[in-house]
């Protein structure tokens, strides 16, 4: 689910434009060795003006990845590379603009399925499927400048760190849906 971008072809107008930009750039093919997956708000339809195309990957050799990204995308407007530590895990980010979208390539030395961006997106998608009325409230808060996870946390009245709280809620939802109704 959500690992292929084919669904974008029949999505809303911005999703269709995102599909075209991704395909025209050829980024999923160019970076296939890193297992790229589109994450964030555009895939689940809660994006706002200026939302970027977040592509996350498993990257272990940052120097090699930087060289490849620079060769492929270094001539695009806004190109920059940053590496840092996020939640005690080394990370690399590459930003640039293409096809009317800001792109953010994000790599960590762990599988995509273990990365927070992917896990958050799955939880948010499940919540939106279960509670469709959340969508407009999340978008409204995002338009006010609130990031996605804090927006969900505020609406759902989750205590503590919104990023951690959302993952905890997601695990509870996943476990309850697996266990089904209790029998007495």
Domain boundaries along the sequence of the chain: 6-111, 117-178
**What percent of the chain shows pLDDT beyond 70?**
93
**Which pTM value belongs to this model?**
0.89
> How much is the pLDDT for 177?
58
6-111 to CATH, choices 3.30.565.10, 3.30.460.10, 3.40.50.720, 3.30.499.10? 3.30.460.10
Indicate whether 139 pLDDT > 70.
yes
Q: Looking at residues 139-151, what average pLDDT do you find?
A: 96
Strand partners, 93: 82, 106
Q: 170, 126 in Cβ contact below 8 A?
A: yes
Q: 139, 48 in Cβ contact below 8 A?
A: yes
Q: Cα–Cα distance between 133 and 7 in angstroms, integer?
A: 22
Chain centroid, CA 140 distance in Å: 19
**What percent of the chain shows pLDDT beyond 90?**
88
The DSSP call for residue 5 is S
103: helix, coil or strand? strand
């Amino acid at each position: 689910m959500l690992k292929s971008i084919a669904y974008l072809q029949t999505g809303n107008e911005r999703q269709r434009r995102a599909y075209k930009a991704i395909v025209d750039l050829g980024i999923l093919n160019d970076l296939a060795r890193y297992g790229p997956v589109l994450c964030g708000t555009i895939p689940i339809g809660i994006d706002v003006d200026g939302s970027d195309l977040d592509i996350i990957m498993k990257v272990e050799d940052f120097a090699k990845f930087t060289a490849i990204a620079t060769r492929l995308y270094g001539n695009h407007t806004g190109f920059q590379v940053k590496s840092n530590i996020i939640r005690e895990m080394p990370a690399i980010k590459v930003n640039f603009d293409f096809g009317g979208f800001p792109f953010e390539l994000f790599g960590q030395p762990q599988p995509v399925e273990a990365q927070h961006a992917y896990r958050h997106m799955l939880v948010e998608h499940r919540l939106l499927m279960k509670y469709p009325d959340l969508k407009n409230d999340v978008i409204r808060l995002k338009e006010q400048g609130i990031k996605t996870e804090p927006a969900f946390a505020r609406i759902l009245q989750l205590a503590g760190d919104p990023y951690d709280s959302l993952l905890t809620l997601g695990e509870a939802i996943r476990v309850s849906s697996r266990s089904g109704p209790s029998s007495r």
